[in-house]
A and B are shown apart, each in its own frame.
Chain A
Amino acid sequence: MTQFLSLLLNGISLGAIYALIALGFVIIFKASEVVSFTHGSLLLLGAYSIARLSEPLGFFLGAVVGVAITALAALAIERLIINRLRGAPVISLAIVTIGVDIILLTELIRRIGSDILNVPHPWGGGSFRIGDVGISQNRLIATIVAGVLIALFFAAFKYSSWGVSMRASAEDGETAALMGIRLGRVSALAWVVAGALAGVAALFLVGSPTPGVSPTVYTVALRAFPAAILGGLDSTGGALVGGLLIGMAESFAAGYQDQLLFLGRGFGDVVPYIVMIAVLLVRPSGLFGTKELTRV
């Protein structure tokens, strides 16, 4: 039972981080109809900036500036590339984001080298325990922060004028533009929010129980992708549920590796994708995605 609860807690905390990243995918998709593959490098940029800036600026200021840098980088990508390609086929835009991702990633990996850069989290490697079940303080704080941010986002999405604009432009871009909604501004803000969420996710991803900043941080984005897809790429609530589902599935698959041996070694790595495929087979638009209606 202890093992089950530990794995569950670990899965939820991991899922909360995935949800932050997946939410970024969803916001960008809703605002600019681009499936953004830049999140891996944005995550790494956030982690790298925070690690480098924590020393001269101190942890808290370093973290704030690091998150801001990630948000600005996302804005720059939107303004300099995506916005100028408006009207291009969706698939081309997706490929463009892969190109941007590779360029940014290569430069970051070159800078990081084989070092492990440590982020001096004030809570360090400490843990929080309830009986025999323990979770690292970093992950506990991550779960709380992710919960607060996601709640704030949902509130803003529902009640702020930006949220209304975004929902309107996602529903029907042309009509929204005719109603005076500036699509460019909505899209830019969406990228900024997605970048900032990736920065926050990076802040916790490089703390206990994972090591500091290494180039492999970017692969986490690849796991958050199935979370966004299975939740429904245009559903913010779906991103949250998808993130949690993937996090828990991954934690259980790795923790019960021996019992799942008949499926082969390394099964835990493919779990996010198996869950995604299984969900899509039953619900092609994802758990909460909008169904495509075609009148004939």
Chain B
Amino acid sequence: MKLGKSSRGAVALAAVVVAAASGCSTKAPESSGGGGAAADVQTDVGIEGTTIKLGVLTDLTGVFAALGKDITNANTLFWKDNKVCDTYDVELDVQDTGYVPQQGVQLYSGMKDSIVAMQQTIGSPINTALAPEYEADSIVNFPSAWSKTLTEIPGTGVVGATYDVEIANGYDYLFKEGLLKEGDTVGHIYFEGEYGANGLAGTQAVAKEKNLEVIEAQIKSTDQDMSAQITQFKAAGVNLIALTVAPGQLASVATVAESQGLDVPILGSNPVFAPGLLQGPAANWLKTHLYVASPVSSFDANPDLLKKYEEAYPDATPSLGVVVGTGMSTIMKQVLDAACENGDLTRAGVVSAFNDLKEVDTGGLVVPIRGYELGKSPSLESFILQPADVPGGAKVLEQAFEGEFAAKIAG
């Protein structure tokens, strides 16, 4: 192969750059001996000097883009103001999966040699696809999904109660408020797949305890018109509509229920609600009929967080994703602080600190986490929220509480 003059020049330049880069990397060992507390802390991958690098696999362009942006912005904002062990700054390596699992797997392989842990991985399919790798690489990860299967991945920290426990807490609230009684009929619309199945499992468990009759209606996430399902529920005389779906289906359920005069409460798993629904025709019905069981509190109860977020991102319409993001970063800080205090910020050390985590308090953002045990819901508590004309679109009806069915379902 013959190279022209300019090509030879380019090759020489590239060689110099590579040499310079590799020269820099030889300084890496110094990094574990930074100042202060860092001096005695053992490190391996993902820490240079006093900077810890965490990965973020989020969705900035796919179907969950708005949520992904909110959670990621909240992560970024949190780490701007916080340090690990008062010594280490945290830098986030944010990558956009577009909610495509294959993309997520590729992006992870690109970042895995430079991060200590994953601050966030959005979406059950991507978390599931990466589970074997996270386990093999000893990665602590926080998903923004609450399926029970995620609790079976070592190192993965679901931020609150799983969907079955969550909706069971919702039932408990409705019983307490007299909105539902023993022997009633419930119509539950749920997505096919893990999310829907896990929510339905909660309904079935409560139905067994309280003798409820359950009418199940399984749908695909692409089904948008809930007319037929609500017509069926009305004919069956349901006393409650339970939903483990997405905001689009909730909007349809509300408008059809209103038009058919099916005046019963609607109980939803936390992903059913989005503040954008309050701009649609279903708004008024939702404000009076919807009860959302949620692992996070609302902005109503956290005005400081909202103010800070709006100052940092003036153009955004913040959703509860901001609370989720800040909550998961708060838990990550506790894990990293503990690992640092143990003198071991290696990946294994971080996993060990994660496993030792007990009674995590995020200052009321997220429900209290009892700890992470494989296959068990990390929390037994949920908030109950209702849509309202407040920032973030929802107000807290009931502070975090443990319902009577939670412990039995959570395992």
A interface: dominant SS: mixed
Q: List A residues 235-255 near B (Cβ within 8 Å).
A: 250-255
Q: Are B256 and A136 in contact (CB under 8 A)?
A: yes
Binding-face segment, B29-37, B40-48, B56-64, B353-361: B56-64
Q: Give A7 to B231 CA distance when docked, in angstroms.
A: 7
Q: Which residues of B contact A251 (CB under 8 A)?
A: 227-228
Q: Give A214 to B63 CA distance when docked, in angstroms.
A: 9
Q: What sequence of 0s and 1s flags, for each residue 220-245 of chain B, a beta carbon within 8 Å of any chain A beta carbon? A: 11111111110110110000000000
A126-B259 contact given A118-B280, A210-B224, CB 8 Å threshold: yes
Q: Which residues of A contact B223 (CB under 8 A)?
A: 216, 268-269
The winner among B67, B192, B227 for most chain A CB atoms within 10 A is B227
Give the contacting residue for A219; candidates B222, B255, B258, B280; CB below 8 A. Answer: B222
Q: Give A14 to B220 CA distance when docked, in angstroms.
A: 18
Nearest B residue to A127 via CB reads: B259
Q: Are B235 and A216 in contact (CB under 8 A)?
A: no
Q: List A residues 98-118 near B (Cβ within 8 Å).
A: 109-110, 113-116, 118
A214-B224 contact given A116-B280, A118-B279, CB 8 Å threshold: yes
Q: Which residues of B contact A125 (CB under 8 A)?
A: 255, 258-259, 280-282
B373 on interface, CB distance cutoff 8 Å: no
Q: Which residues of A contact B247 (CB under 8 A)?
A: 116, 211
Q: Are B251 and A116 in contact (CB under 8 A)?
A: yes
Q: Are B61 and A110 in contact (CB under 8 A)?
A: yes
Q: Which residues of B contact A114 (CB under 8 A)?
A: 59, 62-68, 274
B114 on interface, CB distance cutoff 8 Å: no
Q: Are B226 and A265 in contact (CB under 8 A)?
A: no
B178 on interface, CB distance cutoff 8 Å: no
B111 on interface, CB distance cutoff 8 Å: no
The winner among B59, B215, B224 for most chain A CB atoms within 10 A is B224
Nearest B residue to A255 via CB reads: B228
B248 on interface, CB distance cutoff 8 Å: yes
Q: Give A252 to B231 CA distance when docked, in angstroms.
A: 10
Q: Are B66 and A258 in contact (CB under 8 A)?
A: no
Q: What sequence of 0s and 1s flags, for each residue 241-270 of chain B, a beta carbon within 8 Å of any chain A beta carbon? A: 000000111111001101111000000000
Q: Are B224 and A268 in contact (CB under 8 A)?
A: no
Q: Which residues of B contact A257 (CB under 8 A)?
A: 217-218, 228-229, 232
Q: List A residues 206-263 near B (Cβ within 8 Å).
A: 207-212, 214-217, 219-220, 250-258
Chain B proximity of A128: nearest CB distance (Å): 8
A10-B227 contact given A116-B274, A134-B259, A219-B222, CB 8 Å threshold: yes
Nearest A residue to B230 via CB reads: A209
Q: Which residues of B contact A129 (CB under 8 A)?
A: 259
A216-B248 contact given A118-B280, A210-B225, A269-B223, CB 8 Å threshold: yes
Q: Give A136 to B285 CA distance when docked, in angstroms.
A: 15
B216 on interface, CB distance cutoff 8 Å: yes
A83 on interface, CB distance cutoff 8 Å: no
Q: Give A254 to B276 CA distance when docked, in angstroms.
A: 27
Q: Are B280 and A3 in contact (CB under 8 A)?
A: no
Give the contacting residue for A216; candidates B216, B224, B280, B282; CB below 8 A. Answer: B224
Q: What sequence of 0s and 1s flags, for each residue 117-133 of chain A, a beta carbon within 8 Å of any chain B beta carbon? A: 01001001111010000
Chain B proximity of A188: nearest CB distance (Å): 32
Q: What sequence of 0s and 1s flags, for each residue 69-93 of chain B, a beta carbon within 8 Å of any chain A beta carbon? A: 0000000000000000000000000
Q: Are A209 and B232 in contact (CB under 8 A)?
A: no
B107 on interface, CB distance cutoff 8 Å: no
Nearest B residue to A266 via CB reads: B218
Chain B interface residue bracket vs A: 35 or more
Nearest A residue to B64 via CB reads: A114
Chain B proximity of A28: nearest CB distance (Å): 24
Nearest B residue to A213 via CB reads: B248
Q: Give A132 to B397 CA distance when docked, in angstroms.
A: 34
Nearest A residue to B215 via CB reads: A258
Q: Are A127 and B231 in contact (CB under 8 A)?
A: no
Chain A proximity of B102: nearest CB distance (Å): 15
Q: Give A220 to B223 CA distance when docked, in angstroms.
A: 9
A161 on interface, CB distance cutoff 8 Å: no
Q: Which residues of B contact A109 (CB under 8 A)?
A: 62-63
Q: Which residues of B contact A110 (CB under 8 A)?
A: 61, 65
B205 on interface, CB distance cutoff 8 Å: no
Q: Which residues of A contact B64 (CB under 8 A)?
A: 114
Chain A proximity of B42: nearest CB distance (Å): 41
Nearest A residue to B261 via CB reads: A134
Chain B proximity of A73: nearest CB distance (Å): 22
Q: Are B228 and A268 in contact (CB under 8 A)?
A: yes
Q: What sequence of 0s and 1s flags, for each residue 271-294 of chain B, a beta carbon within 8 Å of any chain A beta carbon? A: 000101101111000000000000
Chain B proximity of A175: nearest CB distance (Å): 44
Chain A proximity of B201: nearest CB distance (Å): 14
Q: Give A2 to B63 CA distance when docked, in angstroms.
A: 37
Q: Give A265 to B197 CA distance when docked, in angstroms.
A: 12
Chain B proximity of A36: nearest CB distance (Å): 20
B219 on interface, CB distance cutoff 8 Å: yes
Nearest B residue to A212 via CB reads: B280
Q: Give A208 to B235 CA distance when docked, in angstroms.
A: 21
A116-B260 contact given A214-B224, A266-B219, CB 8 Å threshold: no
Q: Are A6 and B231 in contact (CB under 8 A)?
A: yes
Give the contacting residue for A134; candidates B220, B251, B260; CB below 8 A. Answer: B260
Q: Which residues of A contact B218 (CB under 8 A)?
A: 257, 265-266
Nearest B residue to A209 via CB reads: B256
Nearest A residue to B250 via CB reads: A211
Chain B proximity of A209: nearest CB distance (Å): 4
Q: Are A211 and B231 in contact (CB under 8 A)?
A: no
Q: Which residues of B contact A127 (CB under 8 A)?
A: 258-260
Q: List B residues 153-197 near A (Cβ within 8 Å).
A: 192
Chain A proximity of B207: nearest CB distance (Å): 15
Q: Which residues of A contact B281 (CB under 8 A)?
A: 118, 121, 124-125, 207-208
Chain B proximity of A14: nearest CB distance (Å): 7
What are 14 inter-chain pairs, A to B, with CB distance below 8 A?
A7-B228, A7-B231, A114-B63, A114-B274, A121-B281, A124-B281, A129-B259, A136-B227, A216-B221, A216-B223, A216-B248, A255-B228, A266-B192, A269-B219
Using CB atoms and an 8 Å cutoff, list the residues of chain A in contact with chain B.
2-3, 6-7, 10, 14, 109-110, 113-116, 118, 121, 124-127, 129, 134-136, 207-212, 214-217, 219-220, 250-258, 265-266, 268-269
Q: 5 tightest A-B contacts by CB?
A: A127-B259, A125-B281, A254-B228, A113-B65, A211-B251
